[in-house]
A = this chain, B = another copy of it.
């Protein structure tokens, strides 16, 4: 693995690599096996039960692309004829958050979405106000600002969220941005 900075990214100009991950040589199948293994260890340690439903939900998440919410996950599992209740989805998402196999992001007032977090770079988001497209970027200076603020305020920072909102490069969205 390359040497990375504290933010987990080499340079702002490595944008083409942003959608990759630390272990991009891994197939999706490899990655699913790895997260299942991590989940097993976590459940053992916490003395929680290793139920088939929990592993199926984890697998469904890691098979999907991009961001998702509880309801989308529920629907996609039902579409695969996997019987599961919403209550269990919500419950399992909490467990997966706790063991950091997923991360919750807030992209707007009513736009809270989850993302896979195993094997992916730290990153921030660009959100198109028109088409809701979400893009990812990484800028190491965010981490530098974080360190400075941390020492200046004597505030122990554990996480951050940086969202830029605007109109994306999509032609329709650009046109709308000129109207305003």
Residues of B within 8 A of A126 (CB): 149, 153, 155, 157
Binds B, one of A24-32, A45-53, A55-63, A101-109: A101-109
Q: A108-B106, A141-B141, A145-B139 are in contact. Are A158 and B166 (CB under 8 A)?
A: yes
Q: A135-B153, A141-B145 are in contact. Are A159 and B169 (CB under 8 A)?
A: no
Give, as a whole number of angstroms, the nearest-CB distance from A165 to chain B: 4
Q: A135-B155, A155-B126, A158-B129 are in contact. Are A164 and B149 (CB under 8 A)?
A: yes
Copy tally for this chain in the complex stands at 2
Residues of B within 8 A of A153 (CB): 15, 126, 135, 137, 168-169
A66 within 8 Å of B (CB atoms)? no
**Measured between alpha carbons, how far is A129 from B70 in the docked complex, in Å?**
23
**Measured between alpha carbons, how far is A160 from B135 in the docked complex, in Å?**
14
Residues of B within 8 A of A152 (CB): 12, 15
Residues of B within 8 A of A142 (CB): 145, 162
**Measured between alpha carbons, how far is A150 from B164 in the docked complex, in Å?**
9
Closest 3 CB pairs of A and B: A157-B166, A159-B165, A154-B169
Q: B-contacting residues of A (Cβ < 8 Å)? A: 12, 15, 104, 106, 108-109, 112, 126, 128-129, 135, 137, 139, 141-142, 144-146, 148-150, 152-169, 174, 177
13 contacts between A and B (CB under 8 A): A126-B157, A137-B149, A139-B148, A153-B168, A156-B174, A157-B164, A158-B166, A159-B164, A160-B162, A160-B163, A160-B164, A161-B161, A161-B162
